[in-house]
């Protein structure tokens, strides 16, 4: 019974943490633009939090650079269970144009397990919202 209540609250209002691991900022500005009055994601209950300890969903952009690799793993460990990871943008999926560079790991799934991939360069805010909704549908 308590489990159903908790699961309902998690679906109705996921709190997200935004993580940038070496990106060019285009996807990040689109994530922030999703909060602005045109797309307005807060009406769906999604709140942008500051610390991984409060977050349910990690939204990450950018190809992972070697310097950021350990920090991302640390932040992933700090997020309490159950947690979900969304990889936004072509860079987080496979490295986009930076595939083969010496400082880039080549996609987020080389470092932490990923649940949803949102393509685009950069991914539009509506596509990011679509990704979040599809994730909630799987819960």
To the nearest whole angstrom, how small is the minimum distance from the Cβ of residue 122 to another protein? 5
What is the C-alpha to C-alpha distance for residues 96 and 78, in angstroms, rounded to an integer? 28
Q: Closest separation between CB of residue 7 and another protein, Å?
A: 25
Q: What is the CA radius of gyration of the chain?
A: 15
Select from 7-15, 80-88, 94-102, 131-139 the region that touches another protein (CB under 8 A): 94-102
What's the rounded Cα separation, in Å, for the pair 84 and 5?
Answer: 19
Q: Does 97 bind another protein (CB under 8 A)?
A: yes
Site for another protein (CB under 8 A): which residue of 41, 46, 57, 75? 75
- Pairwise CA distance, residues 97 & 94, whole Å: 9
CB of 74 to another protein, least distance (A): 10
Which CB atom, from 11 or from 119, has the smaller least distance to another protein? 119
Let me know: does 86 contact 133? Beta carbons within 8 Å: no
What's the Cα-to-Cα distance from 61 to each of 10, 19, 37, 139, rounded to whole Å? Answer: 23, 7, 22, 23
- String of contacts with another protein for each residue 31-70, x by CB under 8 A: xxx--xxx---------xxxxx----------x-xxxx--
CB of 32 to another protein, least distance (A): 7
Contact between 110 and another protein by CB under 8 A: the answer reads: yes
CA pair distance 81, 43, nearest whole angstrom: 25
Is residue 26 within 8 Å of residue 124, measured between CB atoms?
no
Query: Which residues contact another protein (rule: CB under 8 A)?
Result: 18-33, 36-38, 48-52, 63, 65-68, 71, 75, 96-98, 100-104, 106-107, 109-110, 113-114, 121-122, 124
């Amino acid at each position: 019974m308590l489990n159903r209540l908790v699961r309902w609250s998690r679906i109705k209002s996921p709190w997200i943490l935004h993580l940038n691991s070496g990106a060019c900022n285009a996807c990040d500005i689109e994530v922030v633009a999703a909060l602005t009055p045109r797309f307005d994601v807060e009406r769906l209950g999604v709140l942008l939090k500051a610390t991984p300890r409060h977050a349910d969903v990690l939204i990450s952009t950018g190809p992972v650079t070697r310097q950021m690799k350990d920090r991302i793993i640390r932040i992933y460990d700090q997020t309490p269970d159950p947690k979900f990871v969304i990889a936004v943008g072509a860079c987080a999926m496979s490295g986009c144009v930076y595939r083969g560079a010496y400082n880039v790991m080549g996609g987020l799934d080389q470092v932490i397990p990923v649940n949803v991939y949102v393509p685009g360069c950069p991914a539009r805010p509506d596509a990011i919202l679509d990704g979040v909704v599809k994730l909630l549908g799987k819960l």
